[in-house]
Structure 1
């Protein structure tokens, strides 16, 4: 009886153990599946991340490549624009249109004509500025002194008088200028260069504006007209001098000697006190305070005598001597 009871208890314990073991084995069997699923998820995430990184890298590489190509293309275009060179004088331009306008200097083409006086221009802006001579319009005013101008460039250059800016200096004589063009014109005094030639009489000039004024001798053009009396002049300076008759404006007084000088002659007059002689003869080295004095002096070397008496045929180097001679007749 005792033996049967013990065997029954052993079977009960074994059965109980077997049931507990089975309950424990079921979760143990699921663990590897969970781990495997987690590993697959992690692997897929890693693959997606790596693919994303590769895409970003490729995109950046493509972007950098495109930027580099664009930059190279822009540089090439910039280089191409700078190759617009004048075949006659070698001057280069950033744009072909600028070269096209420049070529009119050599061809003499002036497609823009003033309907009032017949004067022609190479550029439309030049005609527009010219028209202000007839209308008297000066829309640009200096806020420092109230002086008015027809062109923006003229006002800009004028403002340097107030600021004291003189950024362009001659390396030969040390004279400074407010405009680059003024220095360029000044340098021709030292070099003797006269690139602007009259096609009618062959006379040459170191400044384009001097040739322009000279041409009025041949054309008879007098574009500067007094609005009060109707008298016309070839140069604006002559009109300004004439206007003093109507306005009664007084001349400037020299602080050194007290002499009254017109504003146009004040700069030249001051050279008497400063001793400045910017006009040098390339033949003998003699210097002069005025350009006209150098011009007359050069006739000694060239033998030119442009003033001829029509009554007796005698010729003279300077107009003053010719005028004095004419009193004889």
Structure 2
């Protein structure tokens, strides 16, 4: 999104220049802290998903204070390059109505994306919920393209008057890039989720399972069997799944709604093997790559320069302990230690 057009690149380049100017010196950072009372400036990052919205929010919430800090820096610093950069940023960038308008638009867009992104990264996110989230985000962007630019102009003009900036936009701009790039990406993601919905959708909730007649249920079971089939082998038998789901619909308690609840119920019953396999496959489909990226982040912390001679078995064990730390907190270490000591104790018989 941030690389969708030249104006966007220029805007985020200015955001990074403002941060770098203050962050490169403790004295400059102190001047910044003296002028702002809210969020401090944040740097852009290519790996952190929230970095751009955090960077924009820090400026969007206090542009007048940051402009004052730039002007103070330009007056107090002895370095000619720093003085020139601070004056330029205060007068031609953050003091420009086009920058204020871009800041308003980008904060609206990134804030909406960030909320959905954080939900999709949760460990217990389900595909049906992800589909609803992405569909809602698409609807938001479509509406924003129709009315968002006008509302952003109004808010930017109010901010410009407060900062004593002439609220004149030299050329009427549009936000077609929002539809062309952002909407295209969101719709592509929605199509990917929709493909899973066509195959696994009848298993998402007990409500959807109960709403299908026998013919539609059979078609869904056959479609799932064909999807999970390779050569002459298949993971799920469609006919067996149909029989089990018909029986399951009659026995399933009303309080059980989601696919996770249904799978836990199947584990307790121990009499629906094919349905259990189908639900396990459904719940192991990754919604995002967030879990994999968290694992690699843990690996980077474990495999440091001081541990360069660590063998693979030890690294795997430490990585598993670190990744599954929540589960590890529930384990009684004393019992494990006693059990380990009992198995490895050397006993000698003296006569």
Give the number of the structure whose residues are more often helix, by fraction.
Answer: 2
Please say whether Structure 1 and Structure 2 have the same fold, judged by a TM-score greater than 0.5: no
TM-score (structure 2 length as normaliser): 0.20
TM-score (normalizing by structure 1): 0.21
Q: Which structure is larger by alpha-carbon Rg, 1 or 2?
A: 1
Higher strand proportion, which one? 1
